[in-house]
């Protein structure tokens, strides 16, 4: 009986420790997360050649347009915009205009980029999200003062920025 009493006493003394050990053991870690700003814009090629034949006289202009290229964009930032710039001004008597369709912002409509060596806005107020396969419209116009041009080219840079 004496040995049994000791055993019971020992168990009763160790039980709180055992209970404490089973109640949980905790450690903490500090997890740092960061979402980087994401901006991405792509185009699916170049527009076809824009050819004006026989510009009319006076103030009238002859114009052709191209709607065959698309752009896609993605951003996790608010109030972004798409701007366009041209590597060299268009020849006198000619105009190059652009329009971008959008579902995430406000299009500025047909914008003259003929002299846009410094960027001009095409779409503003773009909210977070993506816009896929939106139409790019180019319009090329020439009036009677334009010289005959066998072939000219310009590089247009579209930039998604804040």
Partner 1 sequence: MKSLKYVLAFSAACAISATTLFAQRSSSAVQTVTFSVKRSHSLAELAVQQQVAENSRFVAGRTNALSPARMTEGDRIVAQDVKVSMSESVHRSTGIDVVLAPLSSPEAPGNASSSRAHKIVQSQTTDFDSSPFQTRTTFPSSDQVVLTITK
- What is the binding site for partner 1 (CB under 8 A)? 36-43, 45-47, 49-57, 69, 71, 73, 77, 94, 96, 136, 138, 140, 142, 144-162
Q: Give the shortest CB-60-to-partner 1 separation in angstroms.
A: 11
Query: Which CB sits closer to partner 1, 25 or 59?
Result: 59
- Cα separation, 83 vs 103, in Å, equals 16
Query: Which CB sits closer to partner 1, 20 or 38?
Result: 38
- Cα separation, 84 vs 99, in Å, equals 10
Query: Which CB sits closer to partner 1, 7 or 87?
Result: 87
Q: Give the shortest CB-43-to-partner 1 separation in angstroms.
A: 4
R_g of the chain, CA atoms, integer Å: 34
- Cα separation, 160 vs 74, in Å, equals 9
What CA–CA distances, in Å, run from 109 to 59, 98, 133, 145, 146?
22, 8, 17, 26, 25
Q: Give the shortest CB-101-to-partner 1 separation in angstroms.
A: 15
Q: Give the shortest CB-152-to-partner 1 separation in angstroms.
A: 5
What CA–CA distances, in Å, run from 157 to 23, 88, 98, 121?
64, 11, 12, 12
Query: Which CB sits closer to partner 1, 25 or 153?
Result: 153
């Amino acid at each position: 009986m004496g040995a049994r009493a000791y055993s019971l006493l020992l168990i009763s003394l160790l039980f709180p420790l055992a209970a404490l050990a089973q109640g949980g053991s905790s450690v903490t870690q500090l997890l740092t997360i960061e979402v980087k700003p994401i901006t991405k814009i792509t185009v699916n090629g170049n527009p076809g050649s824009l050819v004006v034949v026989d510009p009319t006289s006076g103030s009238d202009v002859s114009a052709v347009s191209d709607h065959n290229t698309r752009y896609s964009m993605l951003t996790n930032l608010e109030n972004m915009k798409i701007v366009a710039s041209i590597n060299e001004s268009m020849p006198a008597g000619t105009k190059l205009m652009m329009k971008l369709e959008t579902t995430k912002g406000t299009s500025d409509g047909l914008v003259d980029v003929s002299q846009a060596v410094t960027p001009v806005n095409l779409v503003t107020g773009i909210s977070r999200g993506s816009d896929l396969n939106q139409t790019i419209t180019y319009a090329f116009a020439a009036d009677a003062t334009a010289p005959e041009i066998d072939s000219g080219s310009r590089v247009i840079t579209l930039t998604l920025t804040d």
